[in-house]
């Protein structure tokens, strides 16, 4: 069963993991050091992110490094874009109202 990417990013720990590996690829042990939780708990979060294809593993010898998958992150950005347009329209309308109110005060 494939998980929903929005369920994956709803968790603050998983968002923090994404932010960490956006800077550089990390092993699960390196990620676990950044959190106040067990390596097993971090591994569960990694599993969810990997199932959603938000991160990709890369084997290097005995280690597994996880990288951010920018294409999957683009899906989130595309979904948010529709709301950005609405917000921009509303902010532009508010700017016009405030500008009109300023002119009327003078």
**Cα atoms in the 13 Å half-sphere on the side-chain side of 24:** 4
Cα Rg of the chain (Å, integer): 20
The more confident residue out of 21 and 93 is: 21
Q: Which residue range forms the structural domain that includes residue 98?
A: 70-106
Q: How far apart are CA 31 and CA 17, in angstroms?
A: 7
Q: What is the pLDDT of residues 14-57, one digit of tens each?
A: 999 999 999 999 999 999 999 998 999 999 999 999 999 999 99
Residues 75 and 62 in one domain: no
Question: Apex CA 56: angle with CA 2 and CA 33, to 5°?
Answer: 105
Residues 50 and 97 in one domain: no
Rounded mean pLDDT, 7-14 = 94
Residues 49 and 99 in one domain: no
The number of domains in the chain is 2
Task: For residue 5, give the CATH number of its domain.
Answer: 1.10.10.10
Residues 60 and 9 in one domain: yes
Q: What is the pLDDT of residues 60-88, one digit of tens each?
A: 999 999 999 999 989 889 999 989 888 88
């Amino acid at each position: 069963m494939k998980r929903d990417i929005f369920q994956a990013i709803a968790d603050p720990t998983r968002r923090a993991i994404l932010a960490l590996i956006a800077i550089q690829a990390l092993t699960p042990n390196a990620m676990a050091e950044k959190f106040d939780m067990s390596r097993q708990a971090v591994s569960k979060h990694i599993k969810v992110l990997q199932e959603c294809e938000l991160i990709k593993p890369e084997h290097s010898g005995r280690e597994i490094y996880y990288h951010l998958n920018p294409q999957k992150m683009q899906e989130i950005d595309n979904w948010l874009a529709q709301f950005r347009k609405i917000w921009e329209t509303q902010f532009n309308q508010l700017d016009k109202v405030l500008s009109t109110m300023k002119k009327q005060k003078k």
